Amino acid sequence: MGNLIEVKNLKIVYRANGRDFIGLDGFSGSFESGKISAIFGPSGSGKTSLLMSVGTLLPPTEGSIVYDGRDVYSLPEAEVQKLRRKIGITFQEPTFINVLSVWENIELALYGAGKLKAEFKRRAEELAYKLGIGDILHKRPTEISGGEARRAAVVRALAHDPDVLLLDEPTAYLDGESTRTLIKLLEEEKERGKTIIVTTHDPVFDKIADAKFYLQHGKQIT
Ligand SMILES: Nc1ncnc2c1ncn2[C@@H]1O[C@H](COP(=O)(O)OP(=O)(O)OP(=O)(O)O)[C@@H](O)[C@H]1O
Protein backbone atom coordinates (compact mmCIF):
# COMPACT_ATOMS: atom_id res chain seq x y z
CA MET A 1 0.00 0.00 0.00
CA GLY A 2 1.43 3.36 -1.02
CA ASN A 3 -0.54 5.08 1.73
CA LEU A 4 -1.71 8.09 -0.24
CA ILE A 5 -5.00 9.33 1.12
CA GLU A 6 -6.96 11.80 -0.95
CA VAL A 7 -9.92 13.64 0.48
CA LYS A 8 -12.22 15.18 -2.08
CA ASN A 9 -14.87 17.81 -1.32
CA LEU A 10 -15.72 16.21 1.99
CA LYS A 11 -18.90 17.42 3.57
CA ILE A 12 -20.28 16.06 6.83
CA VAL A 13 -23.70 17.07 8.08
CA TYR A 14 -24.97 15.73 11.40
CA ARG A 15 -28.69 15.49 12.04
CA ALA A 16 -29.73 15.92 15.67
CA ASN A 17 -33.11 16.86 17.16
CA GLY A 18 -34.53 17.44 13.70
CA ARG A 19 -31.81 19.96 12.82
CA ASP A 20 -28.77 19.84 10.56
CA PHE A 21 -25.35 20.67 11.98
CA ILE A 22 -22.42 21.20 9.65
CA GLY A 23 -19.41 19.20 10.79
CA LEU A 24 -17.31 19.83 7.71
CA ASP A 25 -18.11 21.97 4.72
CA GLY A 26 -16.06 20.89 1.72
CA PHE A 27 -12.56 19.79 2.69
CA SER A 28 -10.09 18.65 0.04
CA GLY A 29 -6.50 17.61 0.51
CA SER A 30 -3.96 14.82 0.21
CA PHE A 31 -2.14 13.07 3.02
CA GLU A 32 1.10 11.45 1.97
CA SER A 33 3.18 8.65 3.39
CA GLY A 34 6.40 9.57 5.16
CA LYS A 35 4.84 12.79 6.31
CA ILE A 36 3.25 14.20 9.43
CA SER A 37 0.14 16.16 8.43
CA ALA A 38 -1.45 18.43 11.02
CA ILE A 39 -5.04 19.65 11.01
CA PHE A 40 -5.40 22.84 13.03
CA GLY A 41 -8.52 24.73 13.99
CA PRO A 42 -10.47 26.01 16.96
CA SER A 43 -12.89 23.88 18.92
CA GLY A 44 -15.85 22.83 16.80
CA SER A 45 -14.11 23.57 13.49
CA GLY A 46 -14.47 20.01 12.18
CA LYS A 47 -11.11 18.41 12.95
CA THR A 48 -12.48 15.27 14.59
CA SER A 49 -15.17 14.91 11.93
CA LEU A 50 -12.48 14.92 9.24
CA LEU A 51 -10.27 12.46 11.12
CA MET A 52 -13.10 10.02 11.82
CA SER A 53 -14.20 10.11 8.21
CA VAL A 54 -10.64 9.44 7.02
CA GLY A 55 -10.56 6.63 9.58
CA THR A 56 -13.45 4.87 7.79
CA LEU A 57 -15.70 5.46 10.82
CA LEU A 58 -17.89 8.32 9.62
CA PRO A 59 -19.47 8.16 6.15
CA PRO A 60 -19.49 11.59 4.53
CA THR A 61 -22.67 13.34 3.46
CA GLU A 62 -20.87 14.34 0.26
CA GLY A 63 -17.43 13.80 -1.22
CA SER A 64 -15.03 10.92 -0.89
CA ILE A 65 -12.01 9.47 0.89
CA VAL A 66 -9.70 7.67 -1.49
CA TYR A 67 -6.97 5.30 -0.28
CA ASP A 68 -4.54 4.50 -3.08
CA GLY A 69 -7.17 5.09 -5.72
CA ARG A 70 -9.97 3.23 -3.93
CA ASP A 71 -12.99 5.11 -2.62
CA VAL A 72 -13.31 3.82 0.94
CA TYR A 73 -17.04 4.32 1.32
CA SER A 74 -17.77 2.42 -1.92
CA LEU A 75 -15.75 -0.64 -0.90
CA PRO A 76 -17.42 -3.89 0.20
CA GLU A 77 -17.42 -4.34 3.99
CA ALA A 78 -14.78 -7.11 3.85
CA GLU A 79 -12.38 -4.75 2.08
CA VAL A 80 -13.07 -2.00 4.61
CA GLN A 81 -12.23 -4.45 7.40
CA LYS A 82 -8.91 -5.25 5.72
CA LEU A 83 -8.16 -1.56 5.34
CA ARG A 84 -8.98 -0.88 9.00
CA ARG A 85 -6.27 -3.29 10.06
CA LYS A 86 -3.77 -0.96 8.41
CA ILE A 87 -5.01 2.03 10.36
CA GLY A 88 -4.14 2.96 13.94
CA ILE A 89 -6.44 5.51 15.52
CA THR A 90 -6.68 7.35 18.82
CA PHE A 91 -9.79 9.20 19.89
CA GLN A 92 -9.98 12.49 21.71
CA GLU A 93 -11.06 10.72 24.89
CA PRO A 94 -9.28 7.39 25.26
CA THR A 95 -11.73 4.58 25.90
CA PHE A 96 -10.72 1.30 27.45
CA ILE A 97 -12.48 -1.75 28.76
CA ASN A 98 -12.21 -1.12 32.49
CA VAL A 99 -12.43 -4.73 33.68
CA LEU A 100 -9.26 -5.52 31.72
CA SER A 101 -5.77 -4.25 32.50
CA VAL A 102 -4.14 -1.68 30.22
CA TRP A 103 -1.98 -4.47 28.78
CA GLU A 104 -5.03 -6.70 28.15
CA ASN A 105 -6.67 -3.78 26.33
CA ILE A 106 -3.60 -3.55 24.11
CA GLU A 107 -3.64 -7.32 23.53
CA LEU A 108 -7.30 -7.12 22.60
CA ALA A 109 -6.51 -4.52 19.95
CA LEU A 110 -3.71 -6.72 18.62
CA TYR A 111 -6.12 -9.62 18.47
CA GLY A 112 -8.64 -7.47 16.55
CA ALA A 113 -5.94 -6.57 14.05
CA GLY A 114 -4.97 -10.25 13.63
CA LYS A 115 -1.54 -9.51 15.18
CA LEU A 116 -1.63 -11.15 18.60
CA LYS A 117 1.87 -12.52 18.12
CA ALA A 118 5.10 -12.33 20.12
CA GLU A 119 6.63 -9.89 17.64
CA PHE A 120 3.83 -7.35 18.04
CA LYS A 121 3.54 -7.86 21.80
CA ARG A 122 7.25 -7.02 21.99
CA ARG A 123 6.66 -3.95 19.87
CA ALA A 124 3.82 -2.84 22.15
CA GLU A 125 5.98 -3.30 25.23
CA GLU A 126 8.83 -1.35 23.67
CA LEU A 127 6.47 1.45 22.69
CA ALA A 128 5.08 1.56 26.23
CA TYR A 129 8.55 1.84 27.73
CA LYS A 130 9.56 4.50 25.19
CA LEU A 131 6.50 6.52 26.16
CA GLY A 132 7.25 6.08 29.86
CA ILE A 133 4.26 3.90 30.76
CA GLY A 134 5.99 0.52 30.85
CA ASP A 135 5.34 0.13 34.56
CA ILE A 136 1.59 0.84 34.55
CA LEU A 137 0.56 -1.81 32.02
CA HIS A 138 -0.74 -4.19 34.70
CA LYS A 139 -3.07 -1.51 36.10
CA ARG A 140 -6.74 -1.06 35.29
CA PRO A 141 -7.58 1.94 33.05
CA THR A 142 -9.41 3.49 36.02
CA GLU A 143 -6.15 3.45 38.00
CA ILE A 144 -4.04 5.53 35.62
CA SER A 145 -3.79 9.28 34.99
CA GLY A 146 -5.25 11.12 31.99
CA GLY A 147 -1.79 11.59 30.46
CA GLU A 148 -0.96 7.90 30.98
CA ALA A 149 -4.27 6.93 29.38
CA ARG A 150 -3.44 9.05 26.31
CA ARG A 151 -0.05 7.41 25.98
CA ALA A 152 -1.60 3.96 26.47
CA ALA A 153 -4.07 4.78 23.68
CA VAL A 154 -1.13 5.67 21.43
CA VAL A 155 0.58 2.36 22.24
CA ARG A 156 -2.66 0.50 21.49
CA ALA A 157 -3.03 2.34 18.16
CA LEU A 158 0.57 1.73 17.07
CA ALA A 159 1.13 -1.78 18.43
CA HIS A 160 0.02 -3.62 15.28
CA ASP A 161 2.39 -1.46 13.21
CA PRO A 162 -0.28 0.16 11.03
CA ASP A 163 0.58 2.04 7.82
CA VAL A 164 -1.68 4.96 8.70
CA LEU A 165 -1.79 6.73 12.07
CA LEU A 166 -4.74 8.98 12.88
CA LEU A 167 -4.30 10.75 16.19
CA ASP A 168 -6.92 13.08 17.65
CA GLU A 169 -5.14 15.72 19.75
CA PRO A 170 -2.36 13.33 20.80
CA THR A 171 -0.46 15.81 22.99
CA ALA A 172 -3.45 17.09 24.98
CA TYR A 173 -2.83 16.52 28.71
CA LEU A 174 0.81 15.58 28.13
CA ASP A 175 3.60 17.41 29.91
CA GLY A 176 6.62 18.80 28.04
CA GLU A 177 8.76 15.70 28.37
CA SER A 178 5.98 13.29 27.34
CA THR A 179 5.19 15.53 24.38
CA ARG A 180 8.83 15.48 23.25
CA THR A 181 8.96 11.69 23.57
CA LEU A 182 5.75 11.29 21.58
CA ILE A 183 6.98 13.65 18.86
CA LYS A 184 10.24 11.69 18.61
CA LEU A 185 8.24 8.50 18.24
CA LEU A 186 6.04 10.01 15.52
CA GLU A 187 9.14 11.22 13.69
CA GLU A 188 10.57 7.69 13.81
CA GLU A 189 7.31 6.28 12.43
CA LYS A 190 7.33 8.94 9.70
CA GLU A 191 10.87 7.86 8.71
CA ARG A 192 9.47 4.32 8.41
CA GLY A 193 7.08 5.63 5.75
CA LYS A 194 3.89 5.89 7.79
CA THR A 195 1.10 8.27 6.85
CA ILE A 196 0.53 10.30 10.01
CA ILE A 197 -2.37 12.68 10.51
CA VAL A 198 -2.94 14.56 13.75
CA THR A 199 -5.61 17.02 14.78
CA THR A 200 -4.21 19.52 17.20
CA HIS A 201 -4.14 22.87 18.93
CA ASP A 202 -0.52 22.33 19.95
CA PRO A 203 1.99 24.80 18.45
CA VAL A 204 4.64 22.06 18.58
CA PHE A 205 3.07 20.62 15.40
CA ASP A 206 3.45 23.99 13.72
CA LYS A 207 7.18 23.35 13.89
CA ILE A 208 7.33 19.69 12.98
CA ALA A 209 4.43 19.03 10.59
CA ASP A 210 5.31 18.51 6.93
CA ALA A 211 1.85 19.49 5.75
CA LYS A 212 -0.63 21.77 7.53
CA PHE A 213 -4.35 22.22 7.07
CA TYR A 214 -6.51 24.81 8.79
CA LEU A 215 -10.23 24.62 9.54
CA GLN A 216 -12.67 27.21 10.82
CA HIS A 217 -16.43 26.67 11.25
CA GLY A 218 -16.14 23.50 9.15
CA LYS A 219 -14.45 25.34 6.30
CA GLN A 220 -10.94 24.91 5.05
CA ILE A 221 -8.93 28.10 5.26
CA THR A 222 -5.53 28.77 3.74
N1 LIG B 1 -22.92 13.90 16.63
C2 LIG B 1 -23.06 15.20 16.35
N3 LIG B 1 -24.30 15.76 16.22
C4 LIG B 1 -24.44 17.06 15.93
N5 LIG B 1 -23.42 17.90 15.73
C6 LIG B 1 -22.18 17.40 15.84
C7 LIG B 1 -21.93 16.05 16.17
N8 LIG B 1 -20.58 15.85 16.22
C9 LIG B 1 -20.03 17.04 15.95
N10 LIG B 1 -20.97 17.98 15.72
C11 LIG B 1 -20.75 19.38 15.37
O12 LIG B 1 -19.88 19.43 14.25
C13 LIG B 1 -18.95 20.50 14.39
C14 LIG B 1 -17.54 19.96 14.27
O15 LIG B 1 -17.27 19.12 15.37
P16 LIG B 1 -15.87 18.39 15.55
O17 LIG B 1 -15.94 17.53 16.75
O18 LIG B 1 -15.49 17.77 14.26
O19 LIG B 1 -14.90 19.66 15.84
P20 LIG B 1 -13.41 19.71 16.40
O21 LIG B 1 -12.69 20.73 15.57
O22 LIG B 1 -12.82 18.37 16.46
O23 LIG B 1 -13.63 20.29 17.87
P24 LIG B 1 -12.77 20.07 19.23
O25 LIG B 1 -11.42 20.71 19.01
O26 LIG B 1 -13.59 20.79 20.27
O27 LIG B 1 -12.70 18.61 19.46
C28 LIG B 1 -19.26 21.18 15.73
O29 LIG B 1 -20.04 22.32 15.48
C30 LIG B 1 -20.04 20.12 16.48
O31 LIG B 1 -20.97 20.72 17.36
CA of 27 to the centre of ligand 1 (A): 15
Ligand 1 test: best mutation among 11, 22, 24, 47, most atoms within 8 Å of CB? 47
What do you get for the CA distance between the two ends of the chain, in Å?
30
Beta carbon of 21 within 6 Å of any ligand 1 atom? yes
- Residue 206 sits at φ, ψ, to 5 deg, of -60, -35
Strand extents, DSSP E, 68-170 = 70-71, 87-90, 164-168
CA atoms within 13 A on the CB side of 178: 19
Gap from CA of 182 to ligand 1 centroid (Å): 26
ipTM > 0.95 for the complex = yes
Ligand 1: residue whose CA is nearest its atom 11: 23
Would the CB of 18 count as within 6 Å of ligand 1?
Answer: no
SS3 of 220, please?
strand
Amino acid at 5: I
Q: Residue 43: CB within 6 Å of ligand 1?
A: yes
33 Cβ inside 6 Å of ligand 1: no
Residue nearest to atom 18 of ligand 1 (CA): 46
One-letter amino acid for residue 133 of the chain: I
pLDDT at 77: 94
Q: Quote the distance between the C-alpha of residue 88 and its chain's center.
A: 6
Backbone phi, then psi, for 140, in 5-degree steps?
-80, 150
Per-residue pLDDT of the chain (222 residues; tens, 9 = 90+): 456 999 999 999 999 999 999 999 999 999 999 999 999 999 999 999 999 999 999 999 999 999 999 999 999 999 999 999 999 999 999 999 999 999 999 999 999 999 999 999 999 999 999 999 999 999 999 999 999 999 999 999 999 999 999 999 999 989 999 999 999 999 999 999 999 999 999 999 999 999 999 999 999 997
Q: Measured in angstroms, how far is the CA atom of residue 49 from the centroid of ligand 1?
A: 7
In short, whether 92's Cβ falls inside 6 Å of ligand 1 is yes
Nearest to 70 by CA among 8, 11, 24: 8
Neighbours of 218 (CB within 10 A): 22
